[in-house]
Each structure stands twice: as C-alpha cells, then as structure tokens.
Structure 1
C-alpha cells in the first residue's frame, strides 16, 4: 500500500517546515504498518494555476503529482494555517485536483474512489478546525473517503507565538492524535481494498 503526503507549507526546501515535522508523526505510523510513503513539498514544484490534470504550460509539474495521487491509496494534505484558512499552496493543489471529478478508472468509477484522505494542520493561532473542514470537504467532493478522526493539528491558540518546532507544549496530544489518524487511514484503506466501492448508479 502507498501513501502520498502533500506538504503545502509556504517554505521552500531546505527551510525547516513545522507542517512537515508534524506530518512526519503520521508518516512514521503508516510506515510501521508497512505503507510506502512519499512526501512532496508542493511549493518546491512549478504547479500552474488551473483545473486540469494535464500540463498547462511548459514545466508545469502537476502531471507528475497527479500520477503520484493515482498510485496512492492514502493521501494526506498537510497545511499551515494562514489568516485562519488553508495555505495558498493547499488551495492551488485542491484546485488542480478538481479535475479528478471527471476522471474515471477502468470500471467507470471516479478515480478518487477507494482511496482515503486526511489532513494535518499547524499554526500558532486558532483556525485548525476550519482548515480541516475546508480541506476534508474538498477531498470528499473529489471522491476520497474521509475516515473518522482522520486529522491532527497543533496550535497554541489565538495570536502570534512560537512555532511547532520551537515549542513542546501540545505536542503529546498532537502526536497521539496523529498516530490515531494514521491507524484510521490505514484501517479504512484496507477495508476498501478488500471490498471496493462500485461505480455509482446511473
């Protein structure tokens, strides 16, 4: 089984990413279950704006990401909170994924069927539940199955403050929730593999 983590931080590599650090807790738990995990920092790629899976311009990296999505049974969108919302990078990723609504597999099922998804959020202000709701709602629209408690987040409440990598407070809860998230994603992915959803009735 394969998983893809799309880290939607605004920080380019090699800058440390708080969001990627928390997502790594989920990655570790998935790897313990034998899942092969690929982590992609979307901001490092030239992803053109648009709503197609095909390349929009020369150098558009989205088709490669789309291929990774189709090879993965598990997807994790990881985003920081900015102005109480998902990052602009996360929004661009979801807009490109919108094209998957009209894509089907060999059995005429939406390509996101029988795949599961979850969300990781970091930030030093509140808004995590709003980000989780927006991203989870978009992924469900595309066709992903969202298991119960398929998320984890870390923040220190309203206002500015230290980042996840600078602060130990709250980490234990976020890590425990992240491990539960990974277990739920893996469990539901296994169930869908054993008994896949059929094409929707016409």
Structure 2
C-alpha cells in the first residue's frame, strides 16, 4: 500500500527550545501514526516567520509558503494546540486563517487541494476547553477540504485551578495514550481509503 505522510503543526506560543506540552502530544501522536505505517515530521510554527493573512503567500519574507508545501506533501495533518482562555491558541487560529486560502486552490478536476487529506487535532491545557477547541479547529479544517476520521481528536486537560502540565505527567495518562492511538489508527486508515477512492471531480 502507498506510504502515508504525516505533518504535525505545533501551535504552542513558545519558540524552541522551550518545553512544550503541545509539541509533546504532537510527537506522541506522530509515534502512533508511525506505528500504523506512516512517516512524518513535526514543525513548531512559531519557530518560523509566518505572517498574518489569508493568502498562500503574504510576501516580504513570509515563511508560510514553505510550511504550506509540507502540508501539500502530507496525507495526514495533525494540529496540536494548547488551550488559552478556553480557546485554541492564537497560533492555531493563524494557521487556520492561512489555510483559508486553500478554498480557492484546486486541482485539474476542480477539487480543493486539501481534498483527500485527513486532519486530526490534539489539545492540551488546564481545566477545560478541549471539546470547544476541537470543534473550532475541525470546522475550519473541514471547510477547506480536510476529512476528519472517526474519533479524530485527542486531548489532556488537568484538574481545575492547578498548575500541572501534560509534560509533567509520567507515565502518560492511559486515556490520552489510548485516544492518541485511536486517532492515529483511524487517520492512517482513512488516508489509505482516500488514496484508493478520491473524492469526485467538482463542477
């Protein structure tokens, strides 16, 4: 069967080499994707000069086009984001805004270029907001053409009003490890199905 390529976009607010729970969960999801036959890489978005905007290239040194090429090469996109004030991070929202340009980017059969690609979302944070963050991200990703697999979300949130981070939990919480694997297995399965049976031509 065809190789499946995965890309993890980490949407932490912290540049490298700062520790990031969002990157940790993204890497753990990638490990599970690789266990199911995929290969891939992790990109921490704030390590790159990505400009605000809704085009494929905002010019003047914008580094989104290089990241976009990785998205185009991938079969599975993992969006890994922290929760801030009950919301996905501003970096995650910037990524979604940049992906908005893909609505008008089509292949030779009129399909958006993101058709045939699978998206899963990994969320970490304290207290609450995981389901809301998933909903925001999935709605936007689906709008631009990504397909969401069954149980395509994974998350960890800590208890209310405490300061423990996901990166401080050792071993990894069993429930999160399980959802990491389920999301990864279903994403690879769906990506293979879409390779064999693409969406119909548009128009």
Give the corresponding residue for 1:2: 5
Deviation, 1:103, is 0.4
State the alpha-carbon separation in 2 of the partners of residues 11 and 29 from structure 1.
Answer: 24
Which one of 49, 63, 88 corresponds to residue 65 of structure 2? 63
- Contact 1:81/1:125 (CA < 8 Å) preserved in 2? no
Deviation, 1:169, is 8.0
**Aligned-residue CA RMSD (Å):** 1.3
State the alpha-carbon separation in 1 of the partners of residues 172 and 40 from structure 2.
Answer: 25
Deviation, 1:159, is 2.5
State the alpha-carbon separation in 1 of the partners of residues 106 and 59 from structure 2.
Answer: 24
Unaligned residue ranges in structure 1 (runs of 5+):
none
State the alpha-carbon separation in 2 of the partners of residues 144 and 88 from structure 1.
Answer: 21
Which one of 11, 16, 36 corresponds to residue 13 of structure 1? 16
* Residue 23 (structure 1) aligned with residue 26 (structure 2): yes
Give the corresponding residue for 2:51: 48
Structure 2 length normalisation: TM-score? 0.94
Unaligned residue ranges in structure 2 (runs of 5+):
none
Structure 1 length normalisation: TM-score? 0.95
Secondary structure of the 2:158 match is coil
* Residue 140 (structure 1) aligned with residue 142 (structure 2): yes
- Contact 1:110/1:199 (CA < 8 Å) preserved in 2? no
State the alpha-carbon separation in 1 of the partners of residues 172 and 23 from structure 2.
Answer: 16
Give the corresponding residue for 1:97: 99
State the alpha-carbon separation in 2 of the partners of residues 68 and 80 from structure 1.
Answer: 22
Structure 1 stretches of at least 4 aligned residues deviating more than 4 Å after TM superposition: none
Describe how 1:62-81 pairs up with structure 2 within 5 A.
62-81=64-83
The number of residues matched between the two structures is 200
State the alpha-carbon separation in 2 of the partners of residues 159 and 43 from structure 1.
Answer: 27
Give the corresponding residue for 1:191: 193
- Contact 1:22/1:175 (CA < 8 Å) preserved in 2? no
* Residue 32 (structure 1) aligned with residue 35 (structure 2): yes
